[in-house]
Structure 1
Amino acid sequence: MLEDLKLEKMDGKMALIVADAVDYKGFPADRSKTGGWVPAALILGIEIVERLSTMGIAVNLVTYMIGVMHLPSSTSANIVTDFMGTSFLLCLLGGFLADSFLGRYKTIGIFAAIQTLGTATLAISTKLPQLRPPPCHVKVGSSTCKQANGFQMGILYIALYLIALGTGGLKSSISGFGTDQFDEKDEKEKPQMAFFFNRFFFFISCGTLAAVTVLVYIQDEVSRSWAYGICSFAMIITILVFLSGTKRYRYKNSSGSPIVHIFQVIVAAVNKRKMDLPSNVGYLYEDTPEASRIEHTDQFSFLEKAAIVAEGDFEKKLSGSAPNPWKLCSLTRVEEVKMMVRLLPVWATTIIFWTTYAQLITFSVEQASTMERNVGSFQIPAGSLTVFFVAAILLTLAVNDRIIMPLWKKWNGKEGFTNLERIAIGLVLSIFGMAAASICEWKRLSVAKSVSGNPSTLPISVFFLIPQFFLVGSGEAFIYTGQLDFFITKSPKGMKTMSTGLFLTTLSLGFFVSSFLVSIVKKITGTRNGQGWLADNINKGRLDLFYALLTILSFINFVAFMICAMCDKPKKSKPSLQMVATNEERC
């Protein structure tokens, strides 16, 4: 009887243990004392403030560069896109450090502190008059403006790229550490994880809305230094809140960086490039448990040479011999790399969308600053026009979920659009968005030419810009969810973090492509006196033609995407060539 009670008690304790997680002391995590919604909510606070800081700075930075630092329009746009591109590119660095060395908890804490330092430096640089050029000297009929010098721009760059570094580290770990607080194998916690993803996107939207409304208003009407100081103070508070949950968090041990695993396969395959593949894949090395193996495919067979067993591939250890991962990789590891390679065509053909997105936080904001923005006695800040972009995202998601999907299911019996279909819809909407932007800019320029002098505000309503914000915003609602779904579901289980990072690099490269295009167009169409398509004075340029160029490039990219989407089917090997045994079984 006593033994039965002891067994029941032991079973009860085991049921409370989360199999693949530990607590802050390194002991197996107790389900009743760690994880769940309270720790997850503490983590989400960091995400809100990260969005508030990054987007609040980005959407209104171009007006600061032009109006305060007195930089040309194209240069200002490139500074913003380079800043945003670097922020997303550094997600790969943050993910690598979290997977290989620091873990997600330490990565969040360290990079949140780095972003706080960046926003504090930016607040100081916008406050001290020594760190910005003097105001323009206005004369009758003209004005003389002195551009910011190298030292002033250097301090500004240090602030911006500290923020970019902090953003990259945070974005790579926050969502992952949040999901670590739920056990997907537990029937009660699994639905909570899905709910967490919904709340995660909701909090991103809340942070962005606060950034493009409240924070932009404070920048324009109160002080930029106050606005950036608020970001620093808010991040300090959320860091303290985040640290307060240390004892409640669940921590998961990393299995190593997927980037390292990919390079191991490539290095092993290259070193064995002169060796011939066996006629039967069963002779290739495999040590993965049967349940975790990936079905063999014929594509990219060169990589399979990494699984050829050769002399010197095994190293002797105290526990026995083990393969050197830089010389011999399992066939499943090779197939994982193949799966990542198959993501690349779709990855490449979604970059251009984020190039069009970059225009909405650069040139479109500059357009808005020249247009009539008054609603009664209230003047809408130029950077706050992006609120229509965020509203379009939320509205599109709601309409898609409540109206389009039920009708779609009723019409053809499918639950909803596939991930590739959603990406295609997003690309199409971005094409129409750039076409609308070109038409709107043509109208704005015609008004500018009809007005005598050089007025700061043209007699045309800023609400003419809404179509381009709405169309590209609706496009993001489709393409963001489609990309995220595609990169997660099409990637191997052990490389989900890597595939998410790969998805975020499309945003990064989209911003860098925007900077590249601006530089090329400026060089080809520009003149010595600052004219051309992207003139120093936006009213003297032909931004409508630049938008038209993006429309054409987006259409060509859409055709390329459709070709890649139709070819997105792995070629499975013939049944006769399927694996028959592992090397260990044959031995």
Structure 2
Amino acid sequence: MIEARGDNNNNNNSCEEVIITTTTSVDWRGRPSNPIKHGGMKAAAFVLGLQGFEIMGIAAVGNNLITYVINEMHFSLSESANIVTNFIGTIFILSLLGGYLSDSYLASFWTILIFGFIELSGFILLSVQAHLPQLKPPKCNMLTDGEKCVEAKGFKALIFFVALYLVALGSGCVKPNMIAHGGDQFDQENPKQSKQLSRYFNAAYFAFSMGELIALTILVYVQTHSGMDVGFGVSAAAMALGLICLVCGTLFYRNKPPQGSIFTPIAQVMVAAFLNRKLVSPSDAHMLHKAHPTKAPPNANPTINLLHTNRFRFLDKACTKMQDGNTTKEISRWRLCTVTQVEQVKILISVLPIFACTIIFNTILAQLQTFSVQQGSTMNTKLTKNFHIPPASLQSIPYIMLIFIVPLYDTFFVPFARKFTGHESGITPLQRIGFGLFFATFSMVSAALMENKRRISAMESNEILSIFWITPQFLIFGISEMFTAVGLIEFFYKQSLKGSMQSFLTAITYCSYSFGFYLSSLLVSLVNKITSSHHGGGWLSDNNLNKDRLDLFYWLLAILSLLNFFNYLFWAKWYSKNGSSSSSSSTTTNQESNSKVVGEDGIV
């Protein structure tokens, strides 16, 4: 809640005093929530149900989409790979929109509900197009007919892309709000619930793993044997069940009201810093502008004074007072901000390098959902005499393992590590991200070795290897993702101290996926262009993987991943050194060492 008050009788040359308090969470009627009846793991369970069903629907589409695009829409291999990566990249870039709308105007529950129905409509339209022959190009076999196959164009292509990007819009806006809405069910000021919050993030990844597992086994099997129209229809049914699950928990949720535009306080700091660029910041941080302590309204949680840090000193201009001799002059908030407001902008800037270091990680993920699936389609998929493994189902292997590992990690490893580290999550989110980035490199090393072996066997010995030869790359990356994905979400969620930006900050983590998939498309195009003079049309220009050099492309990604890991180590060390006073791990310390003062205006 933001309350602005002009104050012409103060002695600090301050701008209009602004009280920003984090309004207590409310129930579905808008009344203050009851900690006994609302929130906690019982409320988060409904959100976990939605997470499981939503990922089930979107994963069944995304992970096997390349097969549909190639076999039924008749796009080339490289173009199909780019369609898939651009689709998934768009999902994650749109998460910023969902996070912004939620924190600023709609709140997470209504954002999920509205865009969940948009996602559902996209699934239904995809199913209709896949079912009606007049909405698809004529049937043909891409392997035997070659150039005779006509790819989807005009109205048929339009229907396909409209359906696809309705799904992208809905899923993109739903994803960050599912995590944030579930996290909002826990009070971080309560030590017991703070530990439950870390457990919730692990439970959320468990729900994600279960959804992925079902999508990559049962739903992909349905797509392969009953048709993509039925498969897309099952995805629609899964999304509908997820929305029903969300609505069923309405009476139990703690809901955070929207706070108005979350970008305005950020813009105020930037504008004030520019306008005051000629001022000299005082050497004594106590001389920087702080709003006056004011008694908090009875139904509000007190906000927090952040300690001043020396990083990004140019932003201190925004809270540097002008010495004009007039102690009663009212100064615009676009000219003078408070230390807390400036420090929270510093937090946002300081986490960006951490975010950037996970882009290569998600570029690797893009390969497992595109080229590795196509790689598997060229191998022996026969398991028994009458049963063949759908190539896309290979991605279920790490999730089969993770549904056992994640509970063990949360039940045994976290309490054990907590005894040594004192951290509520066992190890810090930054350490967790680092482990994941390190393991990701070996996923691509394994992929490169296996692709080289598969290609040599096919070309020199005319031997088709079993599809299980490429399972290690999925298995290693699954372990990597368990560390990186959960660590990144927990890290970003906890940056917004007592705040109103959880959905938006969670959305930033999904942008890493987006940039990773976009980078994948860019790398494919660049590699083809650069290597075209030495390898005909390039490493990845042929629709025949036996003629392409996918193994060299995997080696390139392995090298990039290793370099990215060392880059991450630098920035993680820099953040720990320069951002500790504002980091999530020191929230409690800051709260104890600084009185909880209402009146410090800021982003949260």
Smaller-chain TM-score bracket:
0.7 to 0.9
One-letter identity of the residue aligned with 1:435: V
Tell me by how many angstroms 1:492 deviates.
4.0
Once structures 1 and 2 are overlaid, which stretch shifts more, 340-349 or 272-281?
Answer: 272-281
Q: Residue 484 of structure 2 corresponds to which residue in structure 1?
A: 479
1:273 to 274, 277, 289: 277
Determine if contact 1:136/1:143 at 8 Å carries over to the other structure. Answer: no
2:304 maps to a residue whose letter is S
Contact 2:103 2:504 in 1 (8 A): no
- Offset from partner CA, 1:152-196 (integer Å, 9 cap, x none): 222211111111111121112122223434445567766665554
**Conserved? CA contact 2:416–2:426, under 8 Å:** no
Higher deviation after alignment, 419-428 or 395-404:
395-404
Amino acid corresponding to residue 387 of structure 1 in structure 2: S
Residue 399 (structure 2) aligned to one of 354, 365, 390: 390
The residue identity in structure 1 corresponding to 2:24 is: D
**Residue from 549, 553, 562 that aligns with 2:560:** 553
Q: In structure 2, what is the equivalent of residue 297 of structure 1?
A: 309
Q: What is the aligned partner in structure 2 of residue 58 from structure 1?
A: 62
Residue of structure 2 equivalent to 1:10:
none
Q: Do 2:360 and 2:561's aligned partners in 1 also have CA atoms closer than 8 Å? A: yes
Matched-pair contact (CA < 8 Å) for 2:276–2:317: yes
Deviates more, 1:107-116 or 1:73-82: 73-82
Matches of 1:164 and 1:547 in 2, distance apart? 27
Q: 2-side partners of 1:35 and 1:195: how far apart?
A: 14
**1:175 paired residue number:** 179
TM-superposed CA distance for 1:90, in Å, is: 1.2
* Deviation for aligned residue 1:383: 0.7
For 1:460, what is the secondary structure of its paired residue?
coil
For the structure 1 residues 295 and 37, does the alpha-carbon distance in structure 2 shift closer, same or farther, using more than 3 Å as the test? closer
Structure possessing the higher relative contact order (Cα contacts under 8 Å, 6 or more residues apart): 2
Q: Name 2:450's counterpart in structure 1.
A: 440
Contact 1:396–1:477 at 8 Å: present in 2 too? no
Matched, 1:326 2:334: yes
C-alpha contact (below 8 Å) 1:288/1:332 kept by paired residues? no
1:105 Cα deviation after fit = 1.8
Question: Which moved further from structure 2: 24-33 or 367-376?
Answer: 24-33
Secondary structure at the aligned position of 1:293 is classed as coil
CA drift of 1:119 comes to: 0.4
* 2:377 is equivalent to residue 369 of structure 1: yes
Specify whether residues 293 and 270 from structure 1 end up closer, same or farther in structure 2 by C-alpha distance, changes over 3 A only.
Answer: same
**What letter corresponds to residue 345 of structure 2 in structure 1?**
V
Q: Is the 8 A contact 1:436 1:468 kept in 2?
A: yes
Secondary structure of 1:286's aligned partner: coil
Kept in 1, the 8 Å contact 2:186–2:194? The answer is yes
Q: What corresponds to 1:350 in structure 2?
A: 358
Distance in 2, Cα, partners of 1:474 & 1:537: 31
Gaps of 5+ in 1: 1-17, 315-319, 453-457
* Secondary structure class of the residue paired with 2:94: helix
- 2:511 — aligned with what? 505
**What is residue 15 of structure 1 aligned with on the other side?**
none
Equivalent residue, structure 1, for 2:434 = 424
Aligned equivalents of 2:159 and 2:329: distance in 1? 55
Residues 298 and 571 of structure 1 are in contact (CA less than 8 Å); yes or no, is this contact kept in structure 2? no
The answer to whether the Cα contact below 8 Å between 2:434 and 2:565 also exists between their aligned partners in 1 is yes
Deviation at 1:490, TM superposition (A): 4.9
Task: Judge conservation of contact 1:288–1:330 (CA < 8 Å) in 2.
Answer: no
Partner Cα distance (2:166, 2:194) in 1: 36
Among 527, 549, 554, the residue aligned to 1:542 = 549
1:57 offset after TM fit, Å? 0.7
Q: After TM superposition, give the deviation of residue 536 of structure 1 in Å.
A: 2.1
Find the counterpart in structure 1 of residue 527 from structure 2: 521
In structure 2, the CA distance between the partners of 1:260 and 1:388, relative to structure 1 (3 Å rule), is: farther
Matches of 2:251 and 2:407, distance apart in 1: 37
The counterpart of 1:151, out of the listed 148, 155, 171, is 155
| 2:58–2:235 contact (8 Å) kept in structure 1 | no
Q: Which is higher, the Rg of structure 1 or of structure 2?
A: 1
Partner Cα distance (1:307, 1:297) in 2: 13
Candidates 524, 532, 539, aligned match of 1:533: 539
SS of residue in 2 equivalent to 1:372: coil
- Return 361-370 or 220-229, whichever deviates more: 220-229
1:449 aligns with 2:459: yes
For residues 481 and 373 of structure 1, do their structure 2 counterparts lie closer, same or farther at Cα, with a shift above 3 Å needed? same
- 8 Å CA contact 2:305–2:340 kept in 1: the answer is yes
Aligned to 1:71: 75
CA contact (8 A) 1:259 1:498 kept: no
Summarize the Cα distance change of 1:43–1:394 in structure 2 as closer, same or farther, 3 Å threshold. closer
- Counterparts of 1:279 and 1:194 in 2: how far apart (Å)? 39
Q: Distance in 1 between matches of 2:158 and 2:330?
A: 51
Stretch of structure 1 that moved more, 144-153 or 161-170: 144-153
Aligned pairs (5 A) from 1:79-90: 79-90=83-94
Of 461, 468, 476, 2:473 maps to 468
CA contact (8 A) 1:56 1:212 kept: yes
Deviates more, 1:26-35 or 1:325-334: 26-35
Identical aligned pairs, as a percentage? 39
Counterpart of 1:22 in 2: which secondary structure? coil
Q: What does 1:6-405 align with in structure 2 at a 5 Å threshold?
A: 20-31=24-35, 34-35=38-39, 39-136=43-140, 144-184=148-188, 193=197, 195-287=199-291, 289=293, 292-310=304-322, 324-376=332-384, 377-394=386-403, 396-397=405-406, 400=409
Instruction: Give the Å deviation of 1:469.
Output: 0.8
Q: Secondary structure at the match of 2:465?
A: strand
Shift of 1:362: 0.6
The AA in structure 1 aligned to 2:377 is S
**Any conservation in 2 of the 1:355–1:510 contact (CA below 8 Å)?**
yes
Q: 2:399 is aligned with what amino acid?
A: V
1:396 CA displacement: 4.8
Instruction: Give, as a single letter, the amino acid of the residue that structure 1 aligns with 2:338.
Output: S
Residues in 1 aligned to 2:249 and 2:329: alpha-carbon distance in whole angstroms: 42
- Alpha-carbon distance in 2 for matches of 1:259, 1:280: 29
What's the CA shift for 1:571?
A: 7.6
Amino acid aligned to 2:209: S
Conserved? CA contact 1:284–1:307, under 8 Å: yes
Distance in 2, matches of 1:228 and 1:139, equals 25
5+ long unaligned stretches in structure 2:
1-21, 295-302, 582-592
Residue identity opposite 1:524 in structure 2: I
